Amino acid sequence: MVRIKATSSGICLRSPMHEVSIMESAVQMAVDAAKSAGASRVLALRLRVGTLSGTVPEALRFAFDVVCRDTIAEGASLEMESVPAAGWCPVCRVEFACADFISECPRCHNPNGELRRGRELEIASVEIN
Ligand SMILES: [Zn+2]
């Protein structure tokens, strides 16, 4: 078994696409990676999914099963790591949890917080055999 690590920043899949389109891209990337490594199966796909990524995990899982059919990824497992949204205040230099896209600092109420995490929709790794 070989695990292909995505780059440190991950492979960004984020775009205004439907879950099925997202999964088609993700599975295609995994299949291509497996084939170029000389593997015959994709065993697992791990994704990082931000809470603000705009996708529904259940829909991603359903789409995954559908798009894996009749490919070398059929039967592969899908693991999704949820990434909670976090903002950063450049004034207080603290990170804080944010529930949505409003990244107001809870300490100084600076409204210009920077959204640091939560929009991820990335391939973390692919396991092939
Ligand atoms: Zn602040």
Domain count along the chain: 1
Q: Is 88 contained in some domain?
A: no
Ligand 1 centroid–CA 53 distance in Å is: 24
Ligand 1 centroid–CA 127 distance in Å is: 41
Q: Is 62 contained in some domain?
A: yes
* pLDDT computed for residue 35 by the predictor: 96
| DSSP summary character for residue 10 | -
Q: Is 107 contained in some domain?
A: no
Q: What is the CATH number of the domain that holds 45?
A: 3.30.2320.50
Domain extent for 56:
3-83+118-128
Tell me the CA distances in angstroms from 25 to 22, 59, 67, one per residue in order.
5, 15, 10
Q: Which two tokens stand for residue 82?
A: 């949820």
Pairing of strands 121-128, 42-50: antiparallel
The tens digit of pLDDT for each residue in 76-106 reads 999 999 999 999 999 999 999 987 777 889 9
Query: What's the pTM?
Result: 0.77
Ligand 1 centroid–CA 95 distance in Å is: 9
Ligand 1 centroid–CA 98 distance in Å is: 13
Rounded CA-CA distance 75/65 in Å is 8
Ligand 1 centroid–CA 49 distance in Å is: 26
Ligand 1 centroid–CA 12 distance in Å is: 29
The tens digit of pLDDT for each residue in 36-79 reads 999 999 999 999 999 999 888 899 999 999 999 999 999 999 99
Q: Under a CB-based contact definition with an 8 Å cutoff, are residues 31 and 72 in contact?
A: yes
Ligand 1 centroid–CA 32 distance in Å is: 44
Q: Is 54 contained in some domain?
A: yes
Q: Under a CB-based contact definition with an 8 Å cutoff, are residues 77 and 65 in contact?
A: no
Q: Is 103 contained in some domain?
A: no
